[in-house]
Amino acid sequence: MSSFARKMGRKVSKAGEKGVKKAERTAGRTQASLICAYAHANVKSTMTRKTALRHLSGVFLYAMHRDAGFGAKKGKASRLFRLRDKMQSVFDCIVSGNVTIKEIQDFLRAKPIELDVDIIACDPKANWYRKIKHRAVQEMEAAFLMALVDEFGYGKKRLEQAYIYCAKLSDEIASGKLTWDFICDEIERVMLNQKAAA
């Protein structure tokens, strides 16, 4: 092999090594960017879910406080605290997989309650964050209804009334009469006042 061929071979080899090193650096940057993007999306998903759960629990508790008189009596054992604790218990069971939303829906549809509620309905065209919010709605709605049945013995008629209370609040939020933050702040204030009075 001529010295020219060896020289060109070394040159090609060095260029190849530079290319590999450059490709490794680019791949490293790309991987870091992807990790950062996934982390950001995960944080946003978590925050979306937490916010939705806070708003929904606030609406359910506020509806029962305002329209059904929960929390009217002072003290730690008030119906408002019992509802909150039972909702949390049922919610934990749903999240841990001990019970499914479909099982709760089937239970509510069966005798003696016979409440025709469609907890599972979902828009298949919804974006990722909308689906996260919808899942939170499903879980909290199921927890709310089961808490009223388990803790207070609600039947079909009173469950429908509770649903109407929540629908009224939803309409007031949609019309701008109330805000999510006002409802959450107000229910927290009511509960703090009850604890202080106990």
* pLDDT 10s digits, 16-46: 666 656 656 666 677 767 677 677 777 888 8
Which whole number is the average pLDDT over 58-76? Answer: 85
Contact 68, 129 (CB under 8 A): no
Please give the structure tokens belonging to residue 104.
């709760």
Cis amide leading into 112 (omega within 30) = yes
- How do residues 140-184 score in pLDDT, each as one tens digit? 999 999 999 999 999 999 999 998 999 899 899 999 999 999 999
Q: According to the model, what pLDDT value does residue 75 have? A: 58
Residue with tokens 């003696």: 112
Cα separation, 2 vs 111, whole angstroms: 94
Please give the structure tokens belonging to residue 68.
């059904």
Sorted by sequence, the CB contacts under 8 Å of residue 117 that are 6+ apart come out as 105, 108, 109, 145, 163
Which whole number is the average pLDDT over 131-142? Answer: 89
Which whole number is the average pLDDT over 35-63? Answer: 86
Sorted by sequence, the CB contacts under 8 Å of residue 131 that are 6+ apart come out as 122
Cα separation, 130 vs 136, whole angstroms: 10
Q: Please name the helix (run of DSSP H) or strand (run of DSSP E) that holds residue 154, with its range, or none.
A: none
In 3D space, the residue among 63, 75, 78 whose CA is nearest the CA of residue 145 turns out to be 63
H, E, C per residue of 94-127: HHHCCCCHHHHHHHHHCCCCCCCCCCCCCCCCCC
